[in-house]
A and B are shown apart, each in its own frame.
Chain A
Amino acid sequence: EAQVTQNPRYLITVTGKKLTVTCSQNMNHEYMSWYRQDPGLGLRQIYYSMNVEVTDKGDVPEGYKVSRKEKRNFPLILESPSPNQTSLYFCASSLGLAVGEQYFGPGTRLTVT
C-alpha cells in the first residue's frame, strides 16, 4: 500500500530535549516536505527536499533541521524544542514534476512543556 508514515504519532517532551520525528514514504517520490498546522494559521511549510541531499527552507524553518540521506526518509529534528513548537506536524511527499500533488502522513502531535 502506497503511504507516508510518521513516528511517533504523539509526543510530549520538555523544553530543550532533542527529538526526531521520522518520516518515510514507499512511493519513490522525489519531493518530501514537512508542515506544521496551528489553529488560525493553517498549514505552513517548514522544510522541503527535492531529492537526496537537497533540502531547502520553507516559510517557518527556525528551530528545525532536516536531512535527506535516502530517498524514502526525511526526518525532522528539533535540536532544542521550545513550547512555541507545540503543534501538529505533517510529512508529505510527491513526484518531482508535480510537487503540489502531495500525499500526507497521519500527523504527529507534539507538545513541548
Chain B
Amino acid sequence: TQLLEQSPQFLSIQEGENLTVYCNSSSVFSSLQWYRQEPGEGPVLLVTVVTGGEVKKLKRLTFQFGDARKDSSLHITAAQPGDTGLYLCAGERMNRDDKIIFGKGTRLHILP
C-alpha cells in the first residue's frame, strides 16, 4: 500500500509555464517534506510543512499543506530548465513511530 500518492508521475512542460504537483494520502501526517533529487545524487530538502493549511514560498515555488494534514501541493511559477528533476514528498505519520514514508515522486522536465 502506497501511503503517499504523488501525481502526476511525469510532467514535461515548456519554460515559463506554471505547474502544480500533488501529494495525497488517507493518513494524517505530523509533518510533510518536499525534496528534489537530480540524477546520481541524493534528495535535497526543499521545505517542511507542519501546520494544516500552511503555505510556504521558496522563490517561485509555493508549498501548501492541506487543512487535514493529509495532502500537500507544490506549485511552480514560470518554470525554468533548472527546475528539472524528481520531486519527492515525504512525511512522518501522526502515530509517531518515527518512520518516514516517501511518495514515488513526480519527474519534472522543463523544456527550454
Interface size class of B (residues with CB under 8 A): 20 to 34
Secondary structure at chain B's binding surface: helix, strand, loop or mixed? strand
Chain A, residue nearest B44 (CB): A104
Residue A74 interfacial (CB < 8 Å): no
Complex: A57 Cα to B44 Cα, angstroms: 24
**A42 partner residues in chain B, CB cutoff 8 A:** 88, 102-105
On whether A100 and B105 interact (CB within 8 A), knowing A107-B41, A107-B42, the answer reads no
- Where the two chains meet, the residues of B that have a C-beta atom closer than 8 Å to any C-beta of A are 31-33, 35, 40-45, 48, 88, 90-92, 98-105
- Where the two chains meet, the residues of A that have a C-beta atom closer than 8 Å to any C-beta of B are 4, 31, 33, 35, 40-45, 48, 50, 56, 58-59, 90, 92, 98-107
CB-defined A-B contacts under 8 Å, sample of 13: A43-B43, A43-B88, A43-B90, A44-B102, A56-B98, A90-B42, A90-B43, A98-B48, A100-B31, A100-B32, A100-B33, A100-B91, A101-B48
